[in-house]
Amino acid sequence: MTGNHFHKFYLIGNPVEHSLSPVMHQLFLSYYKINGDYNALLVQPDEIENVIYKLGAEGAGGINVTVPYKETVMHFMDELSEEAQLIGCVNTIKFENGSLKGFNTDLMGFQRSLPVSVEHQKIVMLGAGGVARAILIAFARGNCSSVSIFNRTISRAESLANEIKTRYPETKITVHPLDETHLTVELANASILINTTSVGMKSVEENRMLVPSPLLHQNLFVYDVIYNPQEPPLIKQAKALGLKYVNGLDMLIYQGLESLKIWLDQDLPFEDSLIHKSRDVLTTKLQNGH
Ligand code: ATR
């Protein structure tokens, strides 16, 4: 698809050994018949700046950035995309004629992964961390009617809500403590429930869900950004109740595809066959104890 040029892509972070990105991007490269490879590099904090410049000098096609460097790398960028500025971190770096441009593809990745429209919908969002920020902006841009944020640390939710409200004043955002009484009220007439917290994630609090199951009603669409395990407690419960649900795997796939699109400057077709194949490959990888 892109001639004979060999494209070298990287993931930088610490740790990186359990990342699914190398397998996923290799799959994308072979699907689109792009001559290239994608490797994960374990980088120490004092090396980060040098590594980025060195990879650029060596002609790398692009870099993905993961924890804990998504915020740090912003300082080394010559330019930041609107999304990277809004979200306050960079997960994709592009080298452009010797300069560095930082992007964030989480927002677009999330938007593409959503199988329902958020327009005029009342949303309950659990969590107020980094992922929540990108998702909240996607909801605001999608003209939802309101977002009720529930977070363990109220002050964090308040500052996120205030910041987004100043940028998107037409979006109604309220903040609530994580307790059953408030959840009961807010969930009663919500149509979307999304978990952006790490509660339910492998080796975090695998068996816990923040919403008592009797509050999950038949009109709810349930989204959990967790993909390992593929069925965290909230998704298991939604499935058992016959609700429509999505886990975090599609967001992972779409944010990766958005990165590749940016690096190649090509409008790659996101065909269903590629999405299905990616889900299968990543599912197998996760089932094998990745
Ligand atoms: P990410 O970048 O993945 O969003 P993060 O910024 O550390 O990660 O945010 C993690 C989210 O999970 C936060 O909303 C966090 O709540 P706090 O702001 O109170 O820390 C939430 N979270 C993590 N562990 C939690 C727990 N045991 N109970 C409730 N919420 C939890």
Three-state SS string over 13-82 comes to ECCCCCCCHHHHHHHHHHHCCCCEEEEEEECCHHHHHHHHHHHHHCCCCEEEECCCCCCHHHHHCCEECH
Residues in contact with 60: Cβ distance below 8 Å, sequence separation at least 6, in sequence order? 8, 9, 10, 95
Task: Give all strands (DSSP E) within the chain, no chain letters.
Answer: 7-13, 36-42, 62-65, 79-80, 92-96, 99-103, 122-126, 146-151, 172-177, 192-195, 221-224, 244-246
Atom 30 (ligand 1) nearest CA? 152
Q: Each residue of 24-65: pLDDT tens digit?
A: 999 999 999 999 999 999 999 999 999 999 999 999 999 999
What's the 158 CA to ligand 1 centre distance in angstroms?
A: 14
Six-digit token string for 137? 């902006």
What average pLDDT does range 227-254 have in this prediction? 97
Active-site residue identified among 8, 70, 101, 202? 70
Mean pLDDT (whole number) for 209-225: 97
Three-state DSSP at 105 gives: coil
The mean per-residue pLDDT over the stretch 75-93 comes to: 96
Q: Whose CA is nearest to atom 21 of ligand 1?
A: 197
Global model pTM greater than 0.75:
yes
Q: How far, in Å, from the CA of 271 to the mean position of ligand 1?
A: 33
277 is catalytic: no
Of all residues in the chain, what percent carry a pLDDT higher than 70?
99
CA 283 to ligand 1 center in whole angstroms? 25
Query: What is the C-alpha to C-alpha distance for residues 268 and 144, in angstroms, rounded to an integer?
Result: 28
- 9 Cβ contact list (under 8 Å, min separation 6): 25, 36, 37, 38, 39, 60, 61, 62, 63, 64, 260, 263
Answer yes or no: is the C-beta of 156 below 6 A from any ligand 1 atom. Answer: yes
If you ran DSSP here, which 8-state letter would residue 210 be given? Answer: S
Query: Mean pLDDT across the chain, nearest whole number?
Result: 96
